[in-house]
Copies of this chain bind each other. A is one copy, B any other.
Amino acid sequence: MTMQVTLLDVARLASVSAKTVSRVVNNQGEISEATRQRVQEAIEQLGYRPNMLARSLVSQRSHTLAVVTSGLEYFGPSHTLTGIEQKSYDLGYTLMFSLLAHSDDTNVLPILDSFTARQVDGIIWAVSEIGDNRSWIRPELLKNLPPVVFLTMKPMDGLSVVSVNNRSGAIQATEHLIDQGRRKIGLISGPMAWWESRERFAGYKEAMAKAGLEAAPSQIVEGDWTAQSGKHGMQRLMQQRPDLDAVFACNDQMALGALGVAHQTGRKVPQDIAFVGFDNIPEAACFWPPLTTVDQHLSDVGCLSVQILQKLIEARQQGQEDRSTEVKILEPELFTRESSTGIPAGVNA
Q: Which residues of A contact B (CB under 8 A)?
A: 1-2, 47, 49-54, 56-57, 60, 62, 64, 72-73, 75, 78-79, 81-82, 85-86, 89, 94-99, 101, 113-119, 143-144, 146, 226-228, 230-231, 253, 256-257, 259-260, 263-264, 282-283, 285-289, 316
Q: Measured between C-beta atoms, what is the minimum distance from A319 to chain B in Å?
A: 9
Question: Known contacts being A82-B73, A86-B99, A86-B101, is A143 close to B2, with CB within 8 Å?
Answer: yes
A342 to chain B, nearest CB (A): 15
CA of A230 to CA of B73, assembled, Å: 22
Chain B residues near A54 (CB, 8 Å)?
57
Q: Which of B50, B98, B226 contacts A94 (CB 8 A)?
A: B98
Partner of A56 from the list B53, B73, B253, B263 (CB cut-off 8 Å) is B53
Report the Cα distance A115→B49, complex, angstroms. 11
State how many angstroms separate the Cβ of A87 from the closest Cβ of chain B. Answer: 11
CB of B230 within 8 A of CB of A286, answer yes
Q: Which residues of chain B have C-beta atoms less than 8 A from A264's C-beta?
A: 288
Complex Cα–Cα for A228 and B283 (A): 8
A sample of 9 inter-chain contacts (CB < 8 A) reads A73-B282, A85-B99, A96-B96, A227-B285, A253-B283, A256-B283, A256-B287, A260-B286, A260-B287
Specify which of B75, B226, B231, B289 is in contact with A73 (CB 8 Å cutoff).
B75
